[in-house]
């Protein structure tokens, strides 16, 4: 939709839209590599031949640029998968496609992990975005696992157990992706898939401790 809309725009305005997108791409790379605090407007601008003043003109401030980068991240990430929103247990098996997407789009993953680590500082401008992202993903997974219980796909595990299982699952995804980004010699989708199947096996037999 967005691409079609862009294609219909002509002239100087369209050029501005393209320029804006170039800057967002550059900022995504730089924030992922150097962090938000360490990634300067100068560095971001240099990669696309724009001055810091031009960046401010487009985004108002460095925080404004960060907001655009995070919005873009959300858009890119949503292309990854799970668009079909599979029900219950199928949702967790489909999570493997997110990992595969990250292997193909390493920059998106690096940006998220770097922003999340920086946002452990309460004053960080991405903190609220990151917190909301975790809340959204947790709530989604909790809903899906509860659905799996209701559909009889897994044992009747309690809400408390569901919340704990989902939190650990998200920790595993973050943790192994971090190991992979750090150069661990692993087949990332295979590691994640193995863990997902193990978790599902535990859920099916109700082998979750509370």
**Tokens encoding 5:** 């809309």
Reference 47, options 24, 71, 69, 14; nearest CA is 24
CA torsion, ordered 47, 53, 55, 59, to nearest 10 deg: 170
Dist. CA 93–CA 7, nearest whole Å: 36
The nearer residue to its own copies, 37 or 83, going by C-beta atoms, is 37
Taking the complex as a whole, how short is the minimal distance between the CB of residue 174 and its own copies, in angstroms?
4
Nearer to its own copies, 48 or 138 (CB): 138
- Least gap, CB of 8 to its own copies (angstroms): 38
Q: How far is the CB of 16 from its own copies (least distance, A)?
A: 30
Pick 150 or 160: Cβ nearer its own copies: 160
Q: Which residues bind its own copies (CB under 8 A)?
A: 32-39, 110, 113-114, 116-122, 127, 130-131, 134, 164, 167-168, 170-176, 178-179, 181-184, 186, 191, 194-195, 197-198, 201-202, 207-210
Ramachandran angles phi, psi of 209, nearest 5°: -90, 150
Q: Cα separations (Å) of 146 from 58, 60, 86, 206, 209?
A: 44, 43, 13, 13, 17
69 versus 116: smaller Cβ distance to its own copies: 116
Residue 14 CB, nearest approach to its own copies (Å): 34
């Amino acid at each position: 939709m967005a691409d079609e809309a862009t294609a219909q725009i002509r002239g100087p305005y369209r050029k501005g839209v393209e320029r804006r997108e170039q800057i967002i791409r550059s900022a995504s790379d730089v924030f992922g590599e150097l962090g938000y605090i360490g990634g300067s407007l100068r560095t971001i601008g240099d990669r696309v031949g724009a001055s810091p003043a031009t960046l401010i003109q487009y985004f108002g401030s460095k925080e404004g640029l960060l907001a655009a980068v995070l919005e873009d991240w959300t858009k890119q990430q949503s292309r990854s998968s799970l668009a079909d929103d599979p029900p219950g247990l199928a949702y967790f098996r489909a999570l493997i496609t997110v990992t595969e997407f990250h292997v193909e789009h390493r920059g998106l993953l690096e940006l998220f992990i770097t922003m999340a680590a920086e946002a452990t500082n309460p004053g960080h401008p991405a903190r609220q975005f990151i917190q909301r992202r975790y809340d959204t993903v947790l709530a989604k997974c909790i809903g899906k696992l509860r659905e799996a219980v209701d559909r009889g796909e897994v044992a009747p595990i309690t809400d408390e157990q569901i919340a704990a299982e989902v939190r650990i699952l998200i920790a595993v995804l973050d943790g192994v992706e971090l190991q992979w980004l750090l150069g661990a010699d692993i087949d990332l989708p295979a590691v994640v898939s193995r863990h997902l199947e193990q978790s599902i096996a535990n859920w099916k037999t109700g082998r979750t401790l509370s």
